[in-house]
Amino acid sequence: MTDKILNLLGLAKRAGMLTTGEDKTIEAIQHKKAKVVFIASDAGDSTAKKVRNKCSYYNVPLIDDYTNENLSIATGAPNRVVLSVTDPGFSRKMLQLKEKGK
């Protein structure tokens, strides 16, 4: 599961279909641009709660299976704790892979 989803995350980043950071991700959620949100499993409690609440309220799928390090390596940027994918195609494939456990 890790490799394929993280590879897609890297592709989404290079395609410009990714928002990173808490503020930009929350803004994408509120403007209904975020199709799936990633939050690091080792994110701080306050950040995690805020992002989870926004995802729940706006009905945006959330993936929290990866660490800060995993997300940072996949996106090529340091300290990535919260990010969102704004492309429906990338998001759909990521969610399918998560369901299949690959």
Q: Check if the beta carbon of residue 37 is closer than 8 Å to that of residue 82.
A: yes
What's the token pair of residue 45?
Answer: 């409690």
- Other residues' Cβ atoms within 10 Å of the Cβ of residue 47: 16
Return d(Cα 40, Cα 67) in angstroms, integer: 5
Q: What structural domains does the chain harbor?
A: 2-100 (3.30.1330.30)
pLDDT digits (tens, 9 = 90+) for 34-67: 999 999 999 999 999 999 999 999 999 999 999 9
Work out the angle at residue 46's Cα, subtended by the Cα atoms of residues 101 and 38, and round it to the nearest 5 degrees: 25
Q: What is the largest CA-CA distance in the chain?
A: 31
- pLDDT attached to residue 101: 80
Q: Check if the beta carbon of residue 17 is closer than 8 Å to that of residue 90.
A: yes
pTM: 0.93
